[in-house]
Structure 1
Amino acid sequence: METVTMVLNKVHGLVGLPESVELPLAVDLLILVGAVIVAKSLMGMIKAFYVYFIRPGKNLRNYGEWAVVTGASDGIGKAYAGEFARAGLNVVLISRTQSRLDEAAAEIAAKSPNVEIKTIAVDMGSGKESGIYETIEAEIGSLNVGILVNNVGMSYDHAEYFDLLDDWRVDTMVELNVAAMNWMTKLVLPGMKERKSGAIVNISSAAGTITDPLYAVYSGTKAYVDFFSRALNVEYAQYGIDVQCQIPFFVTTKLAKIRRSSLFIPTPAGFARASVSKIGYEASIVPFWAHALQAYIFSLLPVRVANAKLMGDHLSLRKRALRRKAEKAAKGE
């Protein structure tokens, strides 16, 4: 009882009350709960400041000599590859079109001439039965792969009701966002286990952390990415392998259909710089600080309010997209 009294007296002091003041127990408990909430919030703010502005990135070369990036011919994937090359890692770029891979490789080589760059042109939406993973394994099986970034992905053409989606889009979205990550991860894990070192980074989306009406398939696949990564991080920690889900919000990419950057919408290069410094830490993280702030603010909204807001926004997006399609059809485009 003396300990409880001492704690309450301390709390009284924190809120500016004389220690001798006696308050009803219910009031004391409310003050105590409030103090705990405030302390927790302050600790969270201090931790966030450390994570996003002070904590140094890890030496990525300690994971291995090579970094493999899927969806690497453009956008975030190419930016990740550039950051790895800048850090002294050799890189393997995987994407569908050889000409675009060659352009990306040349751009990276111009900035990091002392690293090796390999390219593998495969359509990762074609499925495992097509033999693409045998092709990839033949190219990277002998390499000391320290880092894999599963970045390849696909979203909607525009906001749409699930029953109106084309079947091929649903199949391909699941293939690219889920299956490709599964098989690429399974491909590199044996070598990482043997060397007892490695990092696997799986790119999710803000859509995977919220209820995202009219983007249900994309949202569902990205939620899978998050929980898959968290589970594997626990499974393979014993082998020195870090598995991490990184969650971007809007970035100026073709997938997002955004061209101009801003405080809350970084370029792929800006996002990648922030992201590589987070590799090897949390199992799931929003790596860009302004995105993390957005995520926190959104988390404060009541679920019903957030759902109604998103549904309204997405219905407006759908309406505009369908109008544009109708106009193009009328012009014969």
Structure 2
Amino acid sequence: MREKTASKLFHIQLKMLLALDFPHKALMIDVLAVLGGLTASLHLLKFTWKCCRGFRQYVWSSRCQANLRAFGQWAVVTGATSGIGKAYATELARRGLDVVLIGRSSKRLQKVAEEIENKYGRKTHTIKVDFTEGGSIYSKIAKELHDLQIGILVNNVGMICNDHFAYFLETPNPEQKITEIINCNILSVPQMTRLVLPPMVLRGRGLIINISSEMGLRPHPLVALYSATKTFSIHFSQCLHAEYKSEGITVQCVTPFMVSTNMTNNMKVNLFVKSAPAFVYDALNTVGHSTFTSGCLSHALQSVAFSILVPDWLRMSTFFIRWLRKRPKIEAGRKEATQEEE
């Protein structure tokens, strides 16, 4: 509203100025015309630059894929038994890496490990831990990873608060749930990074991929805690990349829109909703082309459209919040699935 009011006042003042008769009026009009032309040209250049970056990131990248094997022999994937995590583990194995699978279900870890070994002939190593337990699990993970040359880390594990849009105080069993979500969505990212980053720096190469969310790009009422945890991943990734890019370390943040997984009730795949394998294939192609990505062209376009059609003032309005509250529940499935998928 303030921006609209300021714009109206500016136009009124401009009309009043042009209506006046004073010396050098023609010169002033010419100056304003030049400034307007320069401003339009600047916006056009910015738009063109963004289009070129988008083409490189989402189109050209499929023809110019990075050699992920060059980062190291092993890739570590958290939340690797289903959804995006499983897709990353599988695709990394297909591209020639051995994979460390981390999750909370021994049976599902073993199943994914066997699939990778049988289909791609790559080595696997499984680590059973529950990321909601907090800092106590990382000494075990450190021991399991000690002798492995870790080239890639995918921080994917995450969980949601509710199976529907809800106010913060409606979080079930909040004393426990809030701690679990912070342990899983936030604490896991720097702790896992702490374990694998030092050897990467010594070798002068490494790749860390942090899976955030579109909901981390801007505030989202009714999923406040989840949105806030994903914002952490974005800021942490950007800062970490700035700190260690000179050491040969790439830190990429991925902010997907809707992907068909258990967390999203296995939504039907369409033009807007990607399957996990298809999304991960596109997302891995962006490595070497972008350190901050929506993962695929479809999600990038949706992100732009969403920011225009649902601006901050609307998304934060009481009207919009009440409208969201009427939306149907998202069947979250088992707790196992909600923790291990993004």
- Using the size of structure 2 for normalisation, the TM-score is 0.82
- Decide which of 96, 119, 127 is 1:111's aligned counterpart: 119
**Contact 1:72–1:93, Cα closer than 8 Å, also in 2:** yes
CA separation of 1:46 and 1:237: change in aligned 2, threshold 3 A: closer
- Aligned position for 1:26: 32
**Contact 1:244–1:280, Cα closer than 8 Å, also in 2:** no
CA separation of 1:313 and 1:263: change in aligned 2, threshold 3 A: farther
**Contact 2:252–2:290, Cα closer than 8 Å, also in 1:** yes
- Decide which of 138, 150, 173 is 1:133's aligned counterpart: 138
- Aligned position for 2:169: 163
Measure, in 2, the Cα distance between the counterparts of 1:162 and 1:255. 19
- Which secondary structure does the structure 1 equivalent of 2:59 belong to? helix
- Aligned position for 1:149: 154
Measure, in 2, the Cα distance between the counterparts of 1:108 and 1:183. 26
**Offset of 1:51 from its aligned partner?**
1.5
Measure, in 1, the Cα distance between the counterparts of 2:44 and 2:72. 43
- Which secondary structure does the structure 1 equivalent of 2:259 belong to? coil
Measure, in 1, the Cα distance between the counterparts of 2:329 and 2:284. 35
Q: Deviations over 1:32-69 (max 9, x none)?
A: 21122123212221221121101322100110000000
Q: Deviations over 1:256-291 (max 9, x none)?
A: 224311111100000110111122443321111110
**Offset of 1:310 from its aligned partner?**
5.2
In structure 2, give the amino acid aligned to 1:29: L
The higher relative CO (CA closer than 8 Å, separation ≥ 6) is in: 2
Q: What is the root-mean-square deviation of aligned Cα atoms in Å?
A: 1.9
- Decide which of 272, 286, 290 is 2:280's aligned counterpart: 272
Measure, in 2, the Cα distance between the counterparts of 1:205 and 1:310. 20
Q: Where in structure 1 do 4 or more consecutive aligned residues deviate above 6 Å?
A: none
Measure, in 2, the Cα distance between the counterparts of 1:154 and 1:30. 49
Measure, in 1, the Cα distance between the counterparts of 2:293 and 2:300. 8
5+ long unaligned stretches in structure 1 = 1-21, 323-333
- Which secondary structure does the structure 2 equivalent of 1:41 belong to? helix
**Contact 1:199–1:280, Cα closer than 8 Å, also in 2:** no
5+ long unaligned stretches in structure 2 = 1-26, 331-342
Sequence identity of aligned pairs in percent? 37
Matched, 1:289 2:306: no
CA separation of 1:201 and 1:314: change in aligned 2, threshold 3 A: same
Name whichever of 132-141 and 85-94 sits farther off: 132-141
- Aligned position for 1:196: 204
- Aligned position for 1:52: 58
Q: Deviations over 1:158-196 (max 9, x none)?
A: 221112212222111110000011111101111111111
**Contact 1:243–1:280, Cα closer than 8 Å, also in 2:** no
Measure, in 2, the Cα distance between the counterparts of 1:311 and 1:149. 33
Name whichever of 231-240 and 144-153 sits farther off: 231-240
- Aligned position for 2:314: 305
Measure, in 1, the Cα distance between the counterparts of 2:289 and 2:127. 29
Measure, in 1, the Cα distance between the counterparts of 2:324 and 2:180. 22
In structure 1, give the amino acid aligned to 2:276: P
Measure, in 2, the Cα distance between the counterparts of 1:281 and 1:225. 20
Measure, in 1, the Cα distance between the counterparts of 2:204 and 2:55. 31
Matched length: 297
In structure 2, give the amino acid aligned to 1:66: W
Measure, in 2, the Cα distance between the counterparts of 1:160 and 1:233. 34
- Which secondary structure does the structure 2 equivalent of 1:118 belong to? strand
Name whichever of 235-244 and 22-31 sits farther off: 22-31
Measure, in 1, the Cα distance between the counterparts of 2:322 and 2:253. 29
**Offset of 1:102 from its aligned partner?**
1.1
In structure 2, give the amino acid aligned to 1:286: S
**Contact 1:213–1:310, Cα closer than 8 Å, also in 2:** no
Measure, in 1, the Cα distance between the counterparts of 2:265 and 2:55. 30
- Aligned position for 2:335: none
In structure 1, give the amino acid aligned to 2:58: Y
Measure, in 2, the Cα distance between the counterparts of 1:214 and 1:167. 18
- Which secondary structure does the structure 1 equivalent of 2:263 belong to? coil
**Offset of 1:321 from its aligned partner?**
3.7
**Contact 2:220–2:315, Cα closer than 8 Å, also in 1:** no
Measure, in 1, the Cα distance between the counterparts of 2:177 and 2:320. 22
- Aligned position for 1:257: 265
Measure, in 1, the Cα distance between the counterparts of 2:52 and 2:282. 18
- Aligned position for 1:12: none
- Aligned position for 1:235: 243
- Which secondary structure does the structure 1 equivalent of 2:100 belong to? strand
CA separation of 1:194 and 1:175: change in aligned 2, threshold 3 A: same
**Contact 1:212–1:310, Cα closer than 8 Å, also in 2:** no
CA separation of 1:299 and 1:89: change in aligned 2, threshold 3 A: same
- Aligned position for 1:8: none
- Using the size of structure 1 for normalisation, the TM-score is 0.85
